[in-house]
Structure 1
């Protein structure tokens, strides 16, 4: 029976969305947005010793501005609950209310249980129950097959924890997965491996500090679920881009067994990472939800509350999909934008995270005509919010909708993943002269990327810190596989190798996959060092794909989103070459940290910095003379030298030599700043960092094929 309509509101405004415990401990306020509903009930669940689970339904007695709210006496920490909504059922108009379906509160801070994929979790009839119209309302109760929200407290001993606020110029980001990093790490106790607690363990912190990273960028830790198709194949959504709750941490990554313990474990992880000098950036998915499959998808939360508000729908009530996942959250609506902003503030203020990487960020900023709008109200709110405008915000500047690629078009102070950097660096080191000639350009684009991508980020005073440089990420080949495979090998995903990108700009060096050919292995290792070295000496904010410093392989799988196994987990039994690579990466991050000229906040201006007319940046060819217009555009140009004059900063100058030719060569270094000489401090031809080497007076150097060198000046 439908509850009676609520009386006139007792309060002018609803309380904060979700469940808010009263200060005097007498109960809680609850507030749920369901604008088109006719009645809303909060369902309180209790578990007895012998009687199983009981459900008590409480009709919310007040309504204002689309929110249904009321007071729940006696409700306290640990209370398990859900929501049922009564209202019209007309899918063609976006009305999908079905009180038979237990819904999660979008603001639930704890989530207990998981989704069991049965017909009952769909609001409409599906599968064997289908009779006539596929969108008939299904009257079966979904409660046995869906999670419950859990009321949590805010108490936690932060022991004086404060934000680190590392400048972006000093930052080295480390994109990683909570589970993958420590699932096999020997120094972490077995029961903590693959958990938030494992990430905070001293053995993990020792690796991060040895490596020299300043922030971990964690793949999604919001509560999520696996898609039915994956479950049917015996797999899981391992990456977590399938959000079930924007406020609750994913319980599957916790050693703790109860929702309050899960949240406390996450807070402990953040606190301990901060103590080690490492910030925490969360990869967040606000562009779509776990109610996949469009209008025929499951009814778990938002769809059953108010599909017309939460999702982009067309005139037929069908989802407008610019995410590739069947639905798109509609941040044009103030309630949806507020939910996202509330979630972000919660993670900053209550969990102390230091920033966010926004998955498919263009989808968050599509306006009334579905076009990307850099002045979208959500972006304006994010940029002006006194809390959120002070943290690190990184956009993945694309989605899969029309005109969805927007690299360089986000407003300040956003930084962005720079896919142009990725592709240019891969192309230079992993393609031959013929391929470069076909591309129709020489090293000019490479120079632009090395210098911070001013063509993309030069407007609106954004500077090089707007460019998050990367050569690999979670999505695609690892660096090891980039130099060992020409083709993806995604068979274990069960999709006939159709998933994952086929455009990888990779090179197997003559043999596909594993080999014992020492010559091939030597060239692969040098290419690995070229990629990592270029990344860590480029202007901008470098992001390492975790495990690349170990030469980690995914066996050629470039879309391991469903592989919670040895394909994704780091193997910490390192061969000597892997130990060498780890030492090399640590050396390069230290080199970057010690030389400000590699960490510029503004673009190089070519301005004079000395009486002899020396400039802060200068480009040279293989003969040591300045680059000419013809050399810049010549596809045959495979050697580039970049001199970064550090004298105006009161430090050593840095000379970078990038030789992409297939043969060893002799080149001439440019004349160093007045009174200085060069020392070779790193060569990608070295298996591990070596001692500095002085350069002969004639400045002529023998350089290995496809190699990168770093020189410093000495006086």
Structure 2
């Protein structure tokens, strides 16, 4: 055994005659490497690691090989009031772990000083890198993203073999691929698949985290979702790419599952709490909680920046993913004085040779001071646009004075994304996501119903801009059910006709429900598992038609802002140009948009008409019609020289010769 040479990589690196192990800890008095038996939790060796001048502890183990199971122990001062949590009784997971031998399970011993935890903590496994050919991303802004909770997506899919259900590998099953292709999906966005731990209040309630937004190891895949490890992910990415579908990973670099002062000691807290997490200035024992999850990862620290960058590179090199969605991404831009679009970590990501062409999507908020940063991320970041979501919901709910905001959202949200001189929208338009009501619940519940979460309905957002169409929740009233279905179709139509990238959450195309639960992160059961047999075939077909229309007419997938200068005409129901007075009518509910656009199918330039009627009654509309031409509906059968548009509907017409 000998110390590694000065040139090394953090984590466990295979060489010809052994493995070099390296981990950072500025304040530990000693760090030991623990090696474990291949089949159980027997500790075979405990090796002292040498520390270099940069704070890295390193040791080379001759004869170690792929499959070696290991962890660390860090000794030093235990003084939580000073931000020091060193406890040699705690086995610690390598922040650079790439594979784990089991899932994380919460246990009170993980929170107790001096209590041994080696028998309950996952062991990292030494892996051999097997890089894939890194190809340009398939996804381009303006396309369709399909958000998937991997476990719940296929748990009830009757076509997928039972042993595969709930895994990443199931996404490559022919029946799943056929569904994605039918919808015209350009990229799937996989909710977290890296290893996470349940929040400590869930086990006593008999609940478990089904979303995964509570990570411990930032690179290691969760064995529940990806039992085949990185090879399973790489194979699935390849299978999806073969169908021209990209893969975007939703990653959490804003907090860890070690939580607050009363949380677990599993990895970064026990190795170097003061480096990995942000603390109140001059009060090192007090964690900053800009995430609402108990701690905040210190993305401004060089060691943490390197860990984030290495994690992103790992998923590109080893699996060939198209890109990433960053949960609570404002944290990535937080520095001592607050958020900065020029923060070092954001700049590093945008400039990195391997990452700069990847799809980058920010959830542009956190709960810290100045945390709402929609429109302020640097290009090429796309941004989740909750303003689009809320303005569109309020328009269709019937709120007054919302026509202008709704149309601005449809046209690319230039009020948000042109603030810093931008000429293209970077909006990710969505009406429902994993967090909040499903699309069907949005039109079926006026209030959240989170009683099953065990928090007396206190959790989750209270203002959802939702409506129930006359009955709260489940009903057999045919009139109410018909109205809800019509509203979902109108909302889907609005989404697919919007400039910018559009995102649809899996199952919303078929009317899925969570019984009014708008914070179902802890419902790993039939409430969140997609009921494939119960999906509404008519809604799925409507969604597929909308997606095909969007791809057929490039005017709908362009990302430049609509400005009315030859790219679109905004008309009243009478076919006259909209005036300021028309826009500002409190109850304005009907308008038309005429686009001049190439038609990929007919291979010529045509006019496309979009007609929106929010009112509860049919509306006669006069469309301009040059001699020798006619308007043909793309969503319903028939020709329409003068159109009577149904209540609560969106109509799409193309000019025919």
TM-score normalised to structure 2 length: 0.96
CA deviation string 1:344-375 (max 9, x = no partner): 11011111111111000011211112x11111
In the alignment of these two chains, the number of paired residues is 652
Whole-angstrom distance in 1 between the partners of 2:102 and 2:549: 48
Give structure 1 stretches of 5+ with no counterpart. Answer: 1-5, 126-137, 608-614, 683-689
Corresponding residue number in structure 2 for 1:472: 432
Change (3 A) 1:205 1:462: farther
Q: Superposed, which structure 2 residues align to 1:203-218 within 5 Å?
A: 203-218=175-190
Corresponding residue number in structure 1 for 2:70: 81
Whole-angstrom distance in 2 between the partners of 1:266 and 1:674: 56
Whole-angstrom distance in 2 between the partners of 1:675 and 1:603: 32
CA deviation string 1:545-573 (max 9, x = no partner): 11011111111111110111110111111
Q: Is 1:586 matched up with 2:544?
A: yes
- Report the CA distance between 1:164 and its aligned residue: 4.3
Q: Is 1:193 matched up with 2:165?
A: yes
Of the structure 1 ranges 402-411 and 541-550, higher mean CA displacement relative to structure 2 is found in 402-411
Corresponding residue number in structure 1 for 2:580: 629
Whole-angstrom distance in 2 between the partners of 1:48 and 1:181: 32
- Report the CA distance between 1:203 and its aligned residue: 1.1
Corresponding residue number in structure 2 for 1:146: 121
Corresponding residue number in structure 2 for 1:677: 630
Change (3 A) 1:48 1:253: closer
Corresponding residue number in structure 2 for 1:133: none
Ranges of 4+ aligned residues in structure 1 off by more than 3 Å: 9-13, 114-119, 160-164, 459-465, 647-650, 672-677
Q: Is 1:487 matched up with 2:462?
A: no
Q: Which has the larger radius of gyration?
A: 1
Q: Is 1:236 matched up with 2:208?
A: yes
Corresponding residue number in structure 2 for 1:179: 151
Corresponding residue number in structure 2 for 1:58: 47
Change (3 A) 1:672 1:359: farther
2:105–2:198 Cα contact (<8 Å) kept: no
Whole-angstrom distance in 1 between the partners of 2:327 and 2:384: 10
Corresponding residue number in structure 2 for 1:295: 261
Corresponding residue number in structure 2 for 1:386: 353
Whole-angstrom distance in 1 between the partners of 2:230 and 2:598: 49
CA deviation string 1:620-674 (max 9, x = no partner): 11221111111111212111211111269942221111111122222222x2578
Whole-angstrom distance in 2 between the partners of 1:191 and 1:365: 41
CA deviation string 1:64-100 (max 9, x = no partner): 3111112111111111100011222232222221111
Corresponding residue number in structure 2 for 1:100: 89
- Report the CA distance between 1:117 and its aligned residue: 3.5
1:442–1:631 Cα contact (<8 Å) kept: no
Corresponding residue number in structure 2 for 1:661: 615
Whole-angstrom distance in 2 between the partners of 1:10 and 1:28: 9
Whole-angstrom distance in 1 between the partners of 2:402 and 2:76: 63
Change (3 A) 1:377 1:338: same
TM-score normalised to structure 1 length: 0.88
Give structure 2 stretches of 5+ with no counterpart. Answer: none
2:4–2:60 Cα contact (<8 Å) kept: no
Corresponding residue number in structure 1 for 2:321: 353
Q: Is 1:541 matched up with 2:501?
A: yes
- RMSD of the alignment, in Å? 2.0
Whole-angstrom distance in 2 between the partners of 1:673 and 1:96: 77
Corresponding residue number in structure 2 for 1:320: 288
1:413–1:462 Cα contact (<8 Å) kept: no
Whole-angstrom distance in 2 between the partners of 1:430 and 1:487: 14
Q: Superposed, which structure 2 residues align to 1:396-411 within 5 Å?
A: 396-411=363-378
Corresponding residue number in structure 2 for 1:284: 251
Q: Is 1:165 matched up with 2:138?
A: yes
2:137–2:357 Cα contact (<8 Å) kept: no
Corresponding residue number in structure 2 for 1:251: 223
Whole-angstrom distance in 2 between the partners of 1:442 and 1:324: 32
Corresponding residue number in structure 2 for 1:610: none
Whole-angstrom distance in 2 between the partners of 1:359 and 1:492: 25
Secondary structure at 1:553's aligned position in 2? coil
Secondary structure at 2:655's aligned position in 1? strand
Secondary structure at 1:253's aligned position in 2? coil
Change (3 A) 1:635 1:98: same
